[in-house]
Amino acid sequence: MSNLPDTVRLDGDCLEIIDQTLLPGQVKLLRLRTKEEIYYAIRLLKVRGAPAIGVAAAIGVYLAVVEFENKKFDDFYDRFVLAKLYLNSARPTAVNLSWALDRMEASLLKNRELATPQIINALREEALAIWSEDIEVCRRIGEYGLKLLEKGSGILTHCNAGRLCAVRYGTATAPLYLGQERGYNFHVYADETRPLLQGARLTAFELAAAGVDVTLICDNMAATVMKQGRVQAVLTGCDRVAANGDTANKIGTLGLAVLAKRYKIPFYICAPSSTIDLNSATGADIKIEERDAEEITEMWYRERMAPDKISVYNPAFDVTDAELISGFITEHGVISAPYGNGLRGLM
Protein backbone atom coordinates (compact mmCIF):
# COMPACT_ATOMS: atom_id res chain seq x y z
CA MET A 1 0.00 0.00 0.00
CA SER A 2 1.08 3.57 -0.63
CA ASN A 3 1.59 6.16 2.11
CA LEU A 4 -1.54 8.10 1.16
CA PRO A 5 -3.71 9.07 4.15
CA ASP A 6 -7.14 7.52 4.55
CA THR A 7 -9.54 8.91 1.96
CA VAL A 8 -12.13 9.92 4.55
CA ARG A 9 -12.12 9.97 8.35
CA LEU A 10 -13.50 11.71 11.41
CA ASP A 11 -10.86 13.90 13.02
CA GLY A 12 -12.14 15.61 16.14
CA ASP A 13 -15.02 17.86 15.08
CA CYS A 14 -14.24 17.62 11.35
CA LEU A 15 -14.73 15.34 8.40
CA GLU A 16 -11.28 15.09 6.85
CA ILE A 17 -11.09 14.07 3.18
CA ILE A 18 -8.57 14.02 0.36
CA ASP A 19 -9.72 16.57 -2.23
CA GLN A 20 -9.85 14.27 -5.25
CA THR A 21 -10.50 17.11 -7.69
CA LEU A 22 -6.86 18.19 -7.24
CA LEU A 23 -5.29 14.78 -7.90
CA PRO A 24 -2.82 13.76 -9.17
CA GLY A 25 -1.11 17.14 -9.02
CA GLN A 26 -1.72 17.89 -5.37
CA VAL A 27 -2.62 15.80 -2.31
CA LYS A 28 -4.64 18.21 -0.19
CA LEU A 29 -6.66 17.39 2.91
CA LEU A 30 -9.92 19.27 3.48
CA ARG A 31 -11.44 19.66 6.94
CA LEU A 32 -15.20 20.06 6.72
CA ARG A 33 -17.55 20.91 9.56
CA THR A 34 -20.94 21.95 8.20
CA LYS A 35 -23.51 19.91 6.33
CA GLU A 36 -23.29 22.43 3.49
CA GLU A 37 -19.54 21.90 3.13
CA ILE A 38 -20.02 18.13 3.16
CA TYR A 39 -22.93 18.26 0.68
CA TYR A 40 -20.86 20.20 -1.83
CA ALA A 41 -17.82 18.00 -1.28
CA ILE A 42 -19.97 15.02 -2.32
CA ARG A 43 -21.75 16.87 -5.12
CA LEU A 44 -18.56 18.31 -6.61
CA LEU A 45 -16.70 14.98 -6.36
CA LYS A 46 -14.15 16.17 -3.83
CA VAL A 47 -15.06 12.91 -2.12
CA ARG A 48 -16.42 10.22 -4.45
CA GLY A 49 -16.86 6.48 -4.79
CA ALA A 50 -19.85 4.69 -3.28
CA PRO A 51 -18.18 3.46 -0.04
CA ALA A 52 -16.41 6.78 0.65
CA ILE A 53 -19.62 8.72 0.02
CA GLY A 54 -21.44 6.54 2.53
CA VAL A 55 -18.79 7.06 5.20
CA ALA A 56 -18.69 10.81 4.52
CA ALA A 57 -22.48 11.06 4.80
CA ALA A 58 -22.54 9.12 8.09
CA ILE A 59 -19.92 11.39 9.61
CA GLY A 60 -21.61 14.41 8.03
CA VAL A 61 -25.05 13.80 9.52
CA TYR A 62 -23.44 13.25 12.94
CA LEU A 63 -21.56 16.55 12.69
CA ALA A 64 -24.74 18.29 11.52
CA VAL A 65 -26.54 17.65 14.82
CA VAL A 66 -23.73 17.94 17.36
CA GLU A 67 -24.69 21.56 18.08
CA PHE A 68 -28.24 20.57 19.05
CA GLU A 69 -27.35 18.56 22.15
CA ASN A 70 -29.58 20.75 24.33
CA LYS A 71 -32.70 20.18 22.24
CA LYS A 72 -35.55 17.92 23.27
CA PHE A 73 -35.86 14.68 21.31
CA ASP A 74 -38.61 15.69 18.88
CA ASP A 75 -36.84 18.91 17.91
CA PHE A 76 -33.49 17.13 17.70
CA TYR A 77 -34.96 14.38 15.51
CA ASP A 78 -36.57 16.92 13.16
CA ARG A 79 -33.20 18.60 12.66
CA PHE A 80 -31.55 15.22 12.05
CA VAL A 81 -34.11 14.33 9.38
CA LEU A 82 -33.61 17.66 7.61
CA ALA A 83 -29.83 17.12 7.56
CA LYS A 84 -30.28 13.55 6.37
CA LEU A 85 -32.57 14.54 3.49
CA TYR A 86 -30.21 17.35 2.49
CA LEU A 87 -27.12 15.13 2.38
CA ASN A 88 -29.02 12.33 0.65
CA SER A 89 -29.85 14.67 -2.24
CA ALA A 90 -26.17 15.28 -3.08
CA ARG A 91 -25.96 12.34 -5.53
CA PRO A 92 -28.77 9.94 -6.49
CA THR A 93 -27.18 6.79 -7.91
CA ALA A 94 -24.79 5.44 -5.26
CA VAL A 95 -26.94 3.47 -2.81
CA ASN A 96 -24.30 3.69 -0.06
CA LEU A 97 -25.31 7.30 0.52
CA SER A 98 -28.87 6.48 1.56
CA TRP A 99 -27.78 3.18 3.16
CA ALA A 100 -25.39 4.94 5.55
CA LEU A 101 -27.87 7.71 6.38
CA ASP A 102 -30.65 5.16 7.04
CA ARG A 103 -28.30 3.26 9.31
CA MET A 104 -27.52 6.46 11.24
CA GLU A 105 -31.24 7.15 11.63
CA ALA A 106 -31.83 3.60 12.89
CA SER A 107 -29.13 4.16 15.53
CA LEU A 108 -30.78 7.40 16.60
CA LEU A 109 -34.21 5.79 16.94
CA LYS A 110 -32.79 2.80 18.80
CA ASN A 111 -31.44 5.21 21.42
CA ARG A 112 -34.38 7.62 21.52
CA GLU A 113 -35.00 7.05 25.25
CA LEU A 114 -31.54 8.37 26.10
CA ALA A 115 -30.64 11.99 26.76
CA THR A 116 -29.74 13.92 23.63
CA PRO A 117 -25.98 14.11 24.40
CA GLN A 118 -25.97 10.31 24.72
CA ILE A 119 -27.80 9.98 21.40
CA ILE A 120 -25.17 12.18 19.79
CA ASN A 121 -22.45 9.94 21.22
CA ALA A 122 -24.26 6.89 19.83
CA LEU A 123 -24.36 8.56 16.40
CA ARG A 124 -20.62 9.20 16.60
CA GLU A 125 -19.96 5.56 17.46
CA GLU A 126 -22.17 4.41 14.58
CA ALA A 127 -20.32 6.64 12.11
CA LEU A 128 -16.99 5.26 13.34
CA ALA A 129 -18.36 1.72 13.01
CA ILE A 130 -19.31 2.38 9.37
CA TRP A 131 -15.79 3.74 8.80
CA SER A 132 -14.00 0.76 10.34
CA GLU A 133 -16.31 -1.78 8.72
CA ASP A 134 -15.51 -0.35 5.28
CA ILE A 135 -11.83 -1.13 5.79
CA GLU A 136 -12.58 -4.74 6.77
CA VAL A 137 -15.19 -5.24 4.02
CA CYS A 138 -12.76 -4.11 1.33
CA ARG A 139 -9.97 -6.29 2.71
CA ARG A 140 -12.25 -9.34 2.59
CA ILE A 141 -13.32 -8.52 -0.97
CA GLY A 142 -9.62 -8.50 -1.77
CA GLU A 143 -9.11 -11.94 -0.27
CA TYR A 144 -12.01 -13.50 -2.19
CA GLY A 145 -11.07 -11.73 -5.39
CA LEU A 146 -7.47 -12.85 -5.21
CA LYS A 147 -8.58 -16.50 -5.29
CA LEU A 148 -10.07 -15.91 -8.77
CA LEU A 149 -6.89 -14.48 -10.30
CA GLU A 150 -3.77 -16.19 -11.59
CA LYS A 151 -0.31 -14.86 -10.79
CA GLY A 152 1.06 -12.64 -13.54
CA SER A 153 -2.40 -11.86 -14.95
CA GLY A 154 -3.29 -8.73 -16.84
CA ILE A 155 -6.20 -6.99 -15.10
CA LEU A 156 -8.33 -4.26 -16.66
CA THR A 157 -10.20 -1.82 -14.44
CA HIS A 158 -12.41 1.20 -15.06
CA CYS A 159 -13.03 4.45 -13.20
CA ASN A 160 -11.70 4.42 -9.64
CA ALA A 161 -12.76 1.60 -7.36
CA GLY A 162 -9.52 1.97 -5.44
CA ARG A 163 -8.58 3.20 -2.02
CA LEU A 164 -9.71 6.67 -3.11
CA CYS A 165 -13.29 5.40 -3.49
CA ALA A 166 -13.30 3.88 -0.01
CA VAL A 167 -11.44 4.42 3.25
CA ARG A 168 -8.31 2.39 2.55
CA TYR A 169 -8.23 -0.70 0.28
CA GLY A 170 -10.93 0.06 -2.26
CA THR A 171 -13.15 -2.59 -3.82
CA ALA A 172 -11.91 -3.57 -7.29
CA THR A 173 -8.34 -2.71 -6.33
CA ALA A 174 -8.35 -4.65 -3.06
CA PRO A 175 -7.25 -7.89 -4.81
CA LEU A 176 -4.56 -5.90 -6.62
CA TYR A 177 -3.14 -4.44 -3.41
CA LEU A 178 -3.15 -7.81 -1.66
CA GLY A 179 -1.61 -9.38 -4.76
CA GLN A 180 1.11 -6.72 -4.72
CA GLU A 181 1.94 -7.61 -1.12
CA ARG A 182 2.08 -11.34 -1.96
CA GLY A 183 4.11 -11.28 -5.14
CA TYR A 184 1.37 -11.94 -7.71
CA ASN A 185 2.98 -9.52 -10.19
CA PHE A 186 -0.24 -8.36 -11.80
CA HIS A 187 -0.10 -5.95 -14.71
CA VAL A 188 -3.00 -3.53 -14.50
CA TYR A 189 -4.55 -1.63 -17.40
CA ALA A 190 -6.43 1.42 -16.17
CA ASP A 191 -9.05 2.99 -18.44
CA GLU A 192 -8.81 6.79 -18.41
CA THR A 193 -12.61 6.92 -17.81
CA ARG A 194 -13.99 9.95 -19.57
CA PRO A 195 -15.27 12.55 -19.03
CA LEU A 196 -14.03 12.95 -15.45
CA LEU A 197 -10.86 10.89 -15.93
CA GLN A 198 -11.00 9.05 -12.62
CA GLY A 199 -8.93 6.23 -14.09
CA ALA A 200 -6.21 8.58 -15.29
CA ARG A 201 -6.18 10.96 -12.34
CA LEU A 202 -6.97 8.58 -9.50
CA THR A 203 -6.54 4.87 -10.24
CA ALA A 204 -3.29 5.22 -12.19
CA PHE A 205 -2.03 7.62 -9.51
CA GLU A 206 -2.78 5.47 -6.49
CA LEU A 207 -1.63 2.18 -8.03
CA ALA A 208 1.63 3.70 -9.22
CA ALA A 209 2.17 5.24 -5.78
CA ALA A 210 1.82 1.74 -4.29
CA GLY A 211 4.34 0.26 -6.73
CA VAL A 212 1.79 -1.68 -8.80
CA ASP A 213 2.72 -2.25 -12.47
CA VAL A 214 0.03 -0.13 -14.15
CA THR A 215 -0.49 1.12 -17.71
CA LEU A 216 -2.95 3.90 -18.52
CA ILE A 217 -5.06 3.46 -21.67
CA CYS A 218 -7.77 5.50 -23.35
CA ASP A 219 -11.27 4.08 -22.99
CA ASN A 220 -11.46 3.20 -26.68
CA MET A 221 -8.29 1.07 -26.44
CA ALA A 222 -9.89 -1.58 -24.22
CA ALA A 223 -11.00 -3.76 -27.14
CA THR A 224 -7.50 -3.77 -28.60
CA VAL A 225 -5.72 -4.82 -25.39
CA MET A 226 -8.31 -7.56 -24.91
CA LYS A 227 -7.93 -8.82 -28.47
CA GLN A 228 -4.14 -8.84 -28.06
CA GLY A 229 -4.47 -11.20 -25.10
CA ARG A 230 -3.13 -8.72 -22.55
CA VAL A 231 -6.16 -8.99 -20.25
CA GLN A 232 -7.14 -12.11 -18.31
CA ALA A 233 -9.82 -10.53 -16.09
CA VAL A 234 -11.83 -7.32 -15.72
CA LEU A 235 -12.51 -5.97 -12.23
CA THR A 236 -14.80 -3.01 -11.62
CA GLY A 237 -16.64 -1.58 -8.68
CA CYS A 238 -20.31 -0.64 -8.58
CA ASP A 239 -22.61 2.04 -7.24
CA ARG A 240 -25.84 0.03 -7.06
CA VAL A 241 -26.76 -3.61 -7.70
CA ALA A 242 -30.40 -4.41 -8.47
CA ALA A 243 -32.09 -7.53 -7.13
CA ASN A 244 -31.63 -9.40 -10.42
CA GLY A 245 -27.91 -8.56 -10.70
CA ASP A 246 -28.13 -5.62 -13.11
CA THR A 247 -25.44 -3.21 -11.95
CA ALA A 248 -24.96 0.54 -12.19
CA ASN A 249 -21.37 1.72 -12.38
CA LYS A 250 -19.40 4.53 -13.98
CA ILE A 251 -20.33 5.20 -17.61
CA GLY A 252 -18.34 2.90 -19.88
CA THR A 253 -18.64 -0.20 -17.70
CA LEU A 254 -21.36 -1.68 -19.92
CA GLY A 255 -19.13 -1.44 -22.97
CA LEU A 256 -16.32 -3.27 -21.17
CA ALA A 257 -18.70 -6.06 -20.19
CA VAL A 258 -19.81 -6.48 -23.79
CA LEU A 259 -16.19 -6.62 -24.94
CA ALA A 260 -15.23 -9.09 -22.22
CA LYS A 261 -18.08 -11.36 -23.33
CA ARG A 262 -16.84 -11.18 -26.93
CA TYR A 263 -13.28 -12.15 -25.96
CA LYS A 264 -14.31 -14.68 -23.27
CA ILE A 265 -12.67 -12.75 -20.44
CA PRO A 266 -14.16 -13.01 -16.91
CA PHE A 267 -15.92 -9.79 -15.91
CA TYR A 268 -16.23 -9.41 -12.13
CA ILE A 269 -18.07 -6.79 -10.10
CA CYS A 270 -16.55 -6.07 -6.68
CA ALA A 271 -19.64 -5.29 -4.61
CA PRO A 272 -19.82 -4.55 -0.89
CA SER A 273 -23.19 -5.75 0.39
CA SER A 274 -24.03 -2.10 1.13
CA THR A 275 -24.31 -1.50 -2.64
CA ILE A 276 -26.99 -4.18 -3.10
CA ASP A 277 -30.46 -2.67 -3.46
CA LEU A 278 -33.20 -5.30 -3.31
CA ASN A 279 -35.78 -2.53 -3.69
CA SER A 280 -34.65 -2.10 -7.30
CA ALA A 281 -35.97 -5.13 -9.11
CA THR A 282 -33.87 -4.55 -12.23
CA GLY A 283 -31.50 -1.97 -13.63
CA ALA A 284 -34.47 -0.12 -15.11
CA ASP A 285 -35.38 0.95 -11.56
CA ILE A 286 -32.02 2.62 -10.90
CA LYS A 287 -32.04 6.40 -11.25
CA ILE A 288 -29.08 7.48 -13.37
CA GLU A 289 -27.48 10.80 -12.52
CA GLU A 290 -26.97 13.23 -15.39
CA ARG A 291 -24.23 15.79 -14.93
CA ASP A 292 -23.37 19.18 -16.39
CA ALA A 293 -22.46 19.49 -20.06
CA GLU A 294 -19.35 21.48 -19.12
CA GLU A 295 -17.66 18.32 -17.88
CA ILE A 296 -17.45 17.25 -21.52
CA THR A 297 -17.14 20.53 -23.39
CA GLU A 298 -14.67 22.52 -21.32
CA MET A 299 -13.62 21.09 -17.94
CA TRP A 300 -10.25 19.74 -19.09
CA TYR A 301 -9.47 22.26 -21.82
CA ARG A 302 -7.81 25.64 -21.81
CA GLU A 303 -10.40 26.73 -24.36
CA ARG A 304 -13.85 25.30 -25.01
CA MET A 305 -13.45 22.31 -27.35
CA ALA A 306 -17.04 21.93 -28.58
CA PRO A 307 -19.31 24.28 -30.55
CA ASP A 308 -21.33 26.75 -28.50
CA LYS A 309 -24.85 25.60 -27.64
CA ILE A 310 -24.18 22.05 -28.84
CA SER A 311 -26.47 19.47 -27.24
CA VAL A 312 -24.64 17.28 -24.71
CA TYR A 313 -25.80 14.08 -23.04
CA ASN A 314 -23.72 13.31 -19.95
CA PRO A 315 -24.99 10.34 -17.91
CA ALA A 316 -22.62 9.60 -15.05
CA PHE A 317 -23.39 5.86 -14.99
CA ASP A 318 -24.60 3.02 -17.16
CA VAL A 319 -26.26 -0.28 -16.23
CA THR A 320 -24.52 -3.56 -17.03
CA ASP A 321 -26.93 -6.42 -17.64
CA ALA A 322 -26.62 -9.30 -15.20
CA GLU A 323 -26.07 -11.80 -18.02
CA LEU A 324 -22.77 -10.06 -18.88
CA ILE A 325 -21.36 -10.42 -15.36
CA SER A 326 -19.21 -13.45 -14.44
CA GLY A 327 -19.64 -13.03 -10.70
CA PHE A 328 -20.01 -10.63 -7.78
CA ILE A 329 -17.10 -10.53 -5.37
CA THR A 330 -18.49 -9.52 -1.97
CA GLU A 331 -17.14 -9.47 1.56
CA HIS A 332 -19.04 -12.71 2.16
CA GLY A 333 -17.76 -14.58 -0.87
CA VAL A 334 -18.32 -14.83 -4.62
CA ILE A 335 -21.90 -14.93 -5.93
CA SER A 336 -22.47 -16.78 -9.21
CA ALA A 337 -25.48 -16.75 -11.52
CA PRO A 338 -28.42 -16.89 -11.16
CA TYR A 339 -27.89 -13.75 -9.12
CA GLY A 340 -31.36 -13.17 -7.73
CA ASN A 341 -31.20 -16.00 -5.20
CA GLY A 342 -27.59 -15.30 -4.27
CA LEU A 343 -28.09 -11.59 -3.69
CA ARG A 344 -31.24 -12.12 -1.63
CA GLY A 345 -29.50 -14.81 0.40
CA LEU A 346 -26.57 -12.51 1.07
CA MET A 347 -28.81 -9.73 2.34
Report, as residue numbers or ranges, the catalytic residues: 239
Element (H, E) at 187: strand 187-191
Q: How far apart, in whole angstroms, are the C-alpha atoms of residue 71 and residue 264?
A: 60
197 conformational bin, left if phi > 0, alpha if psi -120 to 50, beta if neither: left
- The residues, any chain, with a CB within 8 Å of residue 257's CB and separated by 6 or more, are 234, 267, 320, 321, 324, 325
Residue type, 69: E
Q: Is the peptide bond before 117 cis (omega within 30 degrees of 0)?
A: no
Q: Angle CA(299)–CA(249)–CA(39) in degrees, nearest 5?
A: 60
Task: Measure the CA–CA gap between 41 and 92, rounded to whole angstroms.
Answer: 15
How far is Cα 232 from Cα 230, in angstroms, rounded to an integer? Answer: 7
3-state secondary structure of 16: strand
